[in-house]
Chain A
Amino acid sequence: MTDAAVSPFDFLERTARSALAGWNRFWFTAVDPATLGLVRIFGGAMLLYTHLVWTLDLAAFFGPNSWVSPYAARQAYVGSAEMPGDLYGNVSFVWSVFYLADTMEAVWAIHIVALAVFALLTLGLFTRAAAILGWVLAVSYVHRTPGALFGLDQINTMLAFALMIGPSGACYSLDSWLRRRKAAAQGTSLPACIPSVGANLAVRLVQLHMCVIYMYAGFGKLVGEAWWNGTGLWGAVANLEYQSLDATWLAWWPMLGAFMSHVTVYWEIYYPVLIWPRATRPWMLLVAIPLHLGIAMFMGMITFGLAMLIGNLAFVRPETTRAVLGWLFRRSARPPATLAQPDHHRSLHVG
């Protein structure tokens, strides 16, 4: 056994080198940006729809006399600067372009720009600029309307951040189509997509964020009794204000309700672990679909349920994205010829 002769320093050096190599593989492997492109289309569409709905109540939520007034919005965030042990005094680092808009004309101007930006992001036109502006605007809306927010907004801003970090317009975008058309006119050809480290970084950030979200969602459910005694799901379906489809028939199927409650908690808690190995990832994603569609259909949070599924898309391998889209649109599912095929799972040494 030669390992017995390895000194502690050698062991530490070897471990450090291995960790560094793992870090490099995890974050800095160039990948096919297909999955990021798909996340952009769905995430952009969700941002567009979410903000389009604000149009119906723009004055009521963003005007000088809004439900949450400009003063109340700022005060809501000052409170978070007053937690114990704070190092920065009573200073809030929350910002919004709406803080500069004190007339409805200015609010409307920002809103119209925002809708245009989210539309460009969805289509993938001027994508890089649209993605940066998209994140700035998405955060601006959120910081102006504390009190009217829920999980959807958290996922929206998470997705907008990732789309800004990576080349989200490299695939399935008008930018990409225009680039190739221009090259063809010049007698050259470009690959559909070029492998990119930025695409990997963006997807990795969404993946890790989703793990954190599910982990705390699961741990949070362990606090009370409801998710232990199997009535957690009942608490959700028996809430009339959330209800969009009547699921009170679950009262006559208490074992089913308890089973679904327990599955929800176990699935959320183990998501950060079981989503990575090759063997369990498809099963974890498979459970995500009925879970989030159930929230969408029965609890009236269609947007939130779909946004969570968009977040889960980050775990779909680019090859799978291409294969599915190729099958759907009857185009070649073959990845770009220049693409080396990194293996997410193997690079993590877990699959």
Chain B
Amino acid sequence: MPPVAATNWSVRRRAIVSAFVALHVTAVFVAPFAWPPSSALGERARAVLRPYIEATELNHGYRFFNIPGPSHLVRYRVDFADGRRPIDGILPHRQEHWPRLRYHRHFMLTESLESSYQVLPQPPEGAAPGSALYEEWKRAREELNRMADIYTRSYAEHLLARHGGSKVTLWGQERGLPSIAEVQSGVKLGDPRYLRETKLGEWEARK
């Protein structure tokens, strides 16, 4: 047995701290274990530990860059009722949002918005209002995009309040990733052909 600095903690103290340590380490493990998609066991374990996991800010999956994919931006236009020229902007903005951490905070706003969409914000192509396909999309959109709708409205209201505008329009942009072969053939990462834009909506200032 190697020499160790013997603890002067009493058995009772060690037992109490051990219980806390066991709880904490279990919570640290369970939160990513129960990250979707997860098993019934994971969900049950998370459900039991949820008060501790939430209160101590442990609710994370740690799936850093697990499926590298396109990046997401938000373009906006603020209109003014008094005839001023509209303000156009984009999130994130490399020059405007400096230092880099500030840029990244704004970038996460747009990525979080994208990840909260579970149904596309616009109806499927060719789905006319009133058609079965359109109605199905509309129903699913209302049910599943609750948080995306809350975020977009929040971003819109922030822009309206910040600029004193009367109307704001938001567009979501998705920039696809060129493949290795495409870059070898001369494609640049900022090539506009890889950028797709979807209108997220328009919001009027509250009277």
Which residues of the other chain, A, contact B150 by a CB distance below 8 angstroms? 71-72, 75-76
The distance in angstroms between the C-alpha atoms of A212 and B24, with both chains bound, is 12
The distance in angstroms between the C-alpha atoms of A85 and B69, with both chains bound, is 31
Task: Write out, one digit per residue, whether chain B residues 96-120 have a CB within 8 A of any chain A CB (1) or not (0).
Answer: 0001111111111100110000000
Pair B46/A216 contact, Cβ less than 8 Å: no
Pair B4/A93 contact, Cβ less than 8 Å: no
The distance in angstroms between the C-alpha atoms of A157 and B112, with both chains bound, is 20
Chain A CB count within 10 A is highest, among B28, B52, B105, for B105
Pair B108/A150 contact, Cβ less than 8 Å: yes
| Chain B, interface SS category | helix
Pair A85/B43 contact, Cβ less than 8 Å: yes
Q: Indicate the size class of the contact surface on chain B.
A: 35 or more
Name A145's closest neighbour in chain B (CB-CB): B105
Q: How far is the CB of A189 from chain B (nearest CB, A)?
A: 21
The count of A-to-B residue pairs whose CB atoms sit within 8 angstroms is 237
Given contact pairs A143-B57, A242-B71, A232 touches B99 in the complex (Cβ within 8 A): no
Judge if A341 is at the interface, Cβ distance under 8 Å: yes
Judge if A102 is at the interface, Cβ distance under 8 Å: no
Name B11's closest neighbour in chain A (CB-CB): A24
Name B52's closest neighbour in chain A (CB-CB): A93
The distance in angstroms between the C-alpha atoms of A257 and B25, with both chains bound, is 35
Given contact pairs A28-B7, A53-B99, A347-B4, A216 touches B32 in the complex (Cβ within 8 A): yes
Which residues of the other chain, B, contact A347 by a CB distance below 8 angstroms? 2, 4
Stretch at the interface among A35-43, A106-114, A219-227, A319-327: A219-227
Pair A56/B71 contact, Cβ less than 8 Å: no
Pair A67/B109 contact, Cβ less than 8 Å: yes
Chain B CB count within 10 A is highest, among A67, A92, A142, for A67
Residue of B2, B46, B147 touching A83 (CB-CB under 8 A): B46
Residue of A226, A234, A340 touching B4 (CB-CB under 8 A): A340
Stretch at the interface among A124-132, A169-177, A247-255: A247-255
Which residues of the other chain, B, contact A77 by a CB distance below 8 angstroms? 54
Residue of B44, B47, B158 touching A65 (CB-CB under 8 A): B158
Pair B73/A93 contact, Cβ less than 8 Å: no
Given contact pairs A56-B102, A251-B184, A81 touches B18 in the complex (Cβ within 8 A): no
Pair A93/B17 contact, Cβ less than 8 Å: no
Pair B175/A93 contact, Cβ less than 8 Å: no
Task: A80-B54, A94-B55 are known; give 4 further A-B pairs, CB within 8 A.
Answer: A27-B17, A68-B109, A212-B32, A234-B180
Q: 5 tightest CB-CB pairs across the interface, nearest first?
A: A235-B68, A220-B63, A220-B66, A340-B5, A65-B161
11 contacts between A and B (CB under 8 A): A27-B17, A53-B105, A88-B47, A148-B108, A195-B5, A213-B32, A224-B66, A232-B68, A241-B71, A341-B5, A342-B4
